[in-house]
Amino acid sequence: MLAAILFDLDGTIVNTDPIHYQAWQKMLLSYDITIDETFYKSRISGRLNPEIVKDILPQLTVIEGEKFADEKETLFRQLAPHLQALHGFAELIKWTETHQLKRALVTNAPRQNAEFMLEVLGIKEIFHTIVLADDCVAGKPDPEPYQVALNNLEILAEQAIALEDSPSGIRAAVGAGIRTIGIASTHDPQILQQVGTFMAIPDFADLQLWQFLNSLI
């Protein structure tokens, strides 16, 4: 029996990748590094900032890397004052309320970014638990954030559905034993299915999603 839906944030509830891409492009230009969308998707999207900086800018010290990442996230927030949730999100939340399902947010987003996006979208109060990578020993693709969410909701993995857009997020949810639906806002649907989703859809208005969810109630 379905008891909860667990949501990723960036790229799932709201398509922030074009803004993150723009911010990373601008920041990396100061190091004479030019990136394209392929580079962004393979080396940046879905990963934690410390990992990204260590990979792309290995010459930076830990403190320099933290400063760089903080400046990048500040730039992101400056570029993203008018975010909107993906099509069908509000209807999905209403559906979970109708059927008395629990809702969790599980995100690798830095705390300030997560709070900023939840505030802009007006959805801070809709989740029964919010799990940030900052509060975990390991972030996605490690399954720990999803395991923490399950524990907080006091449910088993088989009672939940996860919604994710990135390969790292999908690996985390699948690694926690949760059935995972891919949101193909940032990556090709085939890639999402290759890393473990049983379905890949463009947004929350997709008929395939609703047919599946209604079959569980």
Active-site annotation, residues: 8, 10
**Neighbour tally for 202: CB within 10 Å:** 15
Residues 23, 27, 28: CA angle, nearest 5 degrees = 115
Residues in the chain: 217
- State the sign of the Cα–Cα–Cα–Cα dihedral 67, 69, 70, 76: positive
Return phi, psi of residue 123, to 5°: -125, 20
State the DSSP code for 138: S
Give the integer Cα–Cα distance in Å for 159 and 161: 7
Give how far the C-alpha of residue 90 lies from the chain's centroid of Cα atoms, to the nearest Å: 17
| Element counts in the chain: helices (H) and strands (E) | 10, 6
- 187 within 8 A of 169, measured Cβ to Cβ: no
Give the integer Cα–Cα distance in Å for 67 and 50: 11
